Amino acid sequence: MEKHYLEQEAERYLKEREDELKYPVKDYSQKKVTLYHGTSTKYLDDILKQGIKPRYDKESIWEDNPSRPDMVYLSSAYAVYFSQVASNRLGGKPVVFEVKVDTKRLYPDEDFLEQITRVDPEWKDTLSLDMEERTAWFKNNMLEYKISYSDSLGALGNACHKGIIKPKNIIRYSILDESKILDYSDPTITLMNYQILGGRYRKLSQKTMWEEPLSIKTRSKNG
């Protein structure tokens, strides 16, 4: 009985991994790319009318490492997790948006810059700070590294968009069942984790978070 169960689990795992291979890293050098943003339904009506705005002078949901105030943070992988953090902090339900944005407005995520330079000899002696200080330094100097936005998406799945994402660039949104999120997503956002499990997260963004049981309501912007 135990052997039969293990064989079934092994087959299920292999099938899942094969399915995840259908979701490779996309070409982010194109003029327009599709990405995802996670937040709370507290802002849903405002977003549908006015677009997805940077936080500007609002308090960041990340107390220890606040986001850059002029950027909207986007992901090909972790929007579900980010929506959970936002709804836990702000109230409302987790909601994810699919958007199409111009790459001229994209910048690398500061966490990518911090992680990718940890082992780079060029940075070893130049920026000898701890992780939090390095992250803050790259966040403050992000505009100097625009060329790395594609690498940030390809290696970590995250990037930043400078300024408002207008309503016309919102494709659809999905309100999620918060009780199901941990079945599909986790907060391990590292280069190694994305290298190993990136296909799973990309499938989550492109397919799973738009379907039951994770999604409880899905609508196109005009639907």
Helix pair 2-20, 191-206: axis angle to 10 deg: 80
Residue 102 has pLDDT above 90, yes or no: yes
Buried b (16+ CB within 10 A) or exposed e, 96-130: bbbbebebebbbbbbbbbbbbbeeeeeeeeeeeee
33 φ/ψ angles, rounded to the nearest 5 degrees: -135, 155
The pTM (predicted TM-score) of the whole model is: 0.89
Residue with tokens 């940077």: 54
Q: By three-state DSSP, how is residue 175 classified?
A: strand
Summarize pLDDT for 192-205 with one digit per residue, the tens: 999 999 999 999 99
Cα–Cα distance measured from residue 198 to residue 98, given in angstroms and rounded to the nearest whole number: 18
Structural domains of the chain in order of their starting residue, each with its CATH number: 31-217 (3.20.170.30)
